[in-house]
Amino acid sequence: RMNRGEAIAATGTAGDRNIWIVKPTNNNRGNGIRVFSGFAGVDGFVQKKPAGSQWIVQKYIERPLLYKKRKFDIRCLVMVDPLMQIYVYRNAYLRTSTMEYSLDNVQDLFIHLTNYAVQKKNKKLFERKLEEDEMDEDDEAMEEGNNLNLDQLSAFLREEHPGHGDAESIMTRIREIVVLVFMSVWKKLNPLREKNTFEVFGWDFLIDEEFRVWLIEVNTNPYIGCSSEILRGIFTGMLEGACRTCIDPYFPPPEGRDLSEIEDVPGADCWDRVYPPPDGKPA
C-alpha cells in the first residue's frame, strides 16, 4: 500500500524518483526552501515546525527542459488594476541556474533553484570572470544576472528543439493559465473591497522536457532589482506602464499640459489585458 506521497508521485507527470520541494508561505528569494528525496523526509521536516506555521509542499518536476544542461524557469509579471482587470506583461524573462542539472544531489540549491538571490552566492562561478582568451574549449560565459529574454528563448528552441514552438506559443499558454488561476480565487481577491488599489505579482513557470508549461508559484512583492541589462529594460518599461494604467487616470496632468508630453519609455505599452479579454474572446 502506497502512502499519499508515493501515490501522487506514481502518476508519472513530474518524474518517477519521488522528489518533493517544500517552501515557506511567507518568505522569498529562495529562503527556507528544501528539496527531499521521498515524502517521508517531507513529513519529518514539516512536523518539526511550530504549530500553525504554513508550508507549501509540491511534487518536484524532475524532468525539466534544460538550457545548456542547466535548469531555468520563466518569470512573468502580472498586474491587477483598480477595476480588477488582469494584465500580463509581454516581456517575461528566464532565470537560469549556475550548475548543470542533476538529481544526484537534491540539497544543492545552485542546481535546483533559479532565484538570483541564491545563484549569486555561488562564488565559484560568479567570481571566476574569465577573459575570452583565458577560456578553455569547454568554458562558456554565464548569462549576465542569470537572465535571458524571450527572443533568446525562441532562438534556443529553434536551434535545439525545432518543431516545438517558440516563446510566443509558451506565452499564450501562460496567459491562459493566469486567467484560470485568477478565476479560481476571484472571490478571495481584495476581500475588503478597497478602492483605488492595484498590485503587480511575479508568476514563475517551468517547461518540462515534453514542452508542457507548469505554474510553479505566484509571488507578491516580486524582485525588481536590476541585476542585468535585460531586467533594467523590462522593469523600467513595466513600472512606467503600470503607473500609466493604474495611477495616471486618477491624477490628470495640470491644466494646459497633456500626457502626450511624457517622455516615451520603451516597454511601457507592453501590459496586455487578458481579463476581461479586449476582444470578448477567451485569453
pLDDT (tens place) for every residue of the chain, 283 residues total = 555 555 555 555 556 788 998 988 776 666 778 888 888 888 888 888 888 888 888 899 999 999 999 999 999 999 999 999 999 999 999 999 988 999 998 888 888 888 877 887 775 555 554 444 443 444 455 788 899 999 999 999 999 999 998 999 999 999 999 999 999 998 888 888 888 899 999 999 999 999 999 999 999 889 888 889 999 999 999 999 999 999 999 888 888 777 777 788 999 999 999 999 887 665 5
- 228, three cell numbers: 542585468
Q: Which residue has the cell 505599452?
A: 269
The predicted structure's pLDDT at residue 135? 39
pTM for this model (two decimals)? 0.86
Q: What CA–CA distance (Å, rounded) separates 40 from 61?
A: 18
Q: What CA–CA distance (Å, rounded) separates 77 from 270?
A: 11
**148, 230 contact by CB (below 8 A):** yes
Q: In terms of Cα–Cα distance, which of 213, 215, 232 is closest to 224?
A: 232
- 275, three cell numbers: 481579463
Q: What CA–CA distance (Å, rounded) separates 248 from 60?
A: 42
Q: Which residue has the cell 562561478?
A: 125
Q: Within 10 Å of residue 212's Cβ, how many Cβ atoms?
A: 13
**213, 205 contact by CB (below 8 A):** yes
DSSP for residue 64: B
Sign of CA dihedral 15, 17, 22, 28: negative
Using DSSP's 3-state secondary structure scheme, residue 36 falls into strand
Alpha helices, DSSP H, located in the chain = 4-9, 39-47, 109-112, 116-119, 123-126, 150-160, 167-184, 229-246
The predicted structure's pLDDT at residue 192? 86
Question: DSSP labels for 111-147?
Answer: HH---HHHHTT-HHHHS----GGG--TT--PPPGGGE
The predicted structure's pLDDT at residue 119? 80
**77, 204 contact by CB (below 8 A):** no
The predicted structure's pLDDT at residue 42? 86
The predicted structure's pLDDT at residue 141? 55
Q: Which residue has the cell 544531489?
A: 105
Q: What CA–CA distance (Å, rounded) separates 29 from 44?
A: 24
Distance of CA 119 to CAs 70, 161, 216, Å? 12, 26, 18
Backbone angles phi, psi at 156, to 5 degrees: -60, -45
